[in-house]
Amino acid sequence: MVIIRAKQLVTALNMPWRYRDEVAVINDAAVVIRDGVIIDVGTWEEIKRRHPHANIWDFGDNLITPGLVDPHTHLLFAGSREDELERKLQGESYEEITRKGGGIYKTVKYTKETSDQELLNILQKRIQLATSFGTTTVEVKTGYGLDIDQELRLARILKSVKSPIDVVTTFLVHIPPPAGRENYVKEVLKAIPHAGTTYVDVFCDSIAFNVEETRTILKKAAEAGYKLRLHADELEYIGCSDLVEELPIDSADHLLNTPPENVRKIAKSGTVATLLPVTILTLRTSKKPPIDEMRRLRVPIAIGTDFSPNSWCLNMQTAIELAVYLLGLTPLEALIAATANAAYSLRLTDRGIIQPGKIADLVIWDVPNYHWLAYEIGRNKAKLVLKKGEPLRFL
């Protein structure tokens, strides 16, 4: 049994957390861990009285929070697209680059040419780096195989990964091939029962799948026992976020072009709005999710990195910082979006908050209070990362 003492402890008290819900901010705090599980939380004075014989790890100058949960990544691919940054700066849009054979299509080519073992090595290195920034659970999608055999290959690689943290697997129906779109959707429907992932996700947008195709795919996935996620309203609004009314979608992601009136549909459905501020930066767009309406209607907000060849960021700390400076979340909202609500978007209610009975996935930060997680930009502030009570990284 171990007691971790900290200058400040911050956690949501419920999952999902909604705007203006209570939050625990405990100064001179302590957490008790036994066998990888949190068994007690309180002030240092209370905890040392209740557990006088426990070992003590004293981080009395530091902040402790739940481990970060990254609920939206595209970690499994080969190659890079750094040349496309120059094209974007010259005025080409993401959609234009994709339609000319770049973007996703370019990454598909690199990924197909890379062996299973090499892809597995790439994936494991990326997970390890994400962990060093405080991520203790990560969602990872397929999506860069394009043809069905390749997508099932990526699903197999994803399920075989050896990781120090938990990996939630998603079969992403990413983009239709340049020809044979209708037949491709039929092939997807046949393949879904064989994916073996936890989630199925569809990129529903102007350059990807339309609403009817997305509805058909997600309905089939739900019937096959998969949980559902959705890329919605990223590049344009074509009606994708309306699907939360019809299907049990755990998370609707991006939402840059979601009309304010659709926020009511998201709120009523219980779907989490997963926002991806790094991608707003890399798309060089002025569009932003309707945050004020989400707050008003108390939609649970999560954030993720959206790590991909277009958004090369493994660092959830950066997502927190940009959620504050680009989207206007408070540091407290951003932290909870990266912990309790990110976990809830994956329906992992055994982590993401610091409470007795929850898994001891924790981060000790080299800062004195939670404000510094956004106030200081650009440094890795994670001092100690704990997965089920075991240290993963110690500086």
Residues annotated within the binding site are: 72, 74, 81, 144, 174, 231, 234, 306
Nearest to residue 120, comparing CAs of 89, 157, 87?
Answer: 157
Which segments are annotated as binding site for N-formimidoyl-L-glutamate?
Answer: 144
Which segments are annotated as binding site for 4-imidazolone-5-propanoate?
Answer: 81, 144, 174, 234
Question: Could you tell me where the DSSP H helices lie in 133-210?
Answer: 148-159, 181-191
- Give the C-alpha separation, 341 to 12, whole Å: 9
Are the C-beta atoms of 214 and 244 separated by less than 8 Å?
no
Rg (CA), the chain: 21
Q: DSSP letter for 382, please.
A: E
- Give the C-alpha separation, 223 to 235, whole Å: 29
CA 18 to chain centre: 18
Q: DSSP letter for 90, please.
A: T
- The strand order across the sheet containing 166-173 reads 68-70, 135-141, 166-173, 199-204, 227-232, 249-254, 272-275, 301-303
Which segments are annotated as binding site for Fe(3+)?
Answer: 72, 74, 231, 306
Query: What are the φ and ψ backbone dihedral angles of 33, each rounded to 5 degrees?
Result: -125, 135
Exposure pattern of 295-330 as b/e (b: 16+ CB <10 Å)?
bebebbbbbbbbbbbbbebbbbbbbbbbbbeebebe
Determine how β-strand 135-141 pairs with β-strand 68-70.
Answer: parallel
The string of DSSP codes covering 11-44 is EESSSS--TT--EEEEEEEEEEEETTEEEEEEEH
Which segments are annotated as binding site for Zn(2+)?
Answer: 72, 74, 231, 306
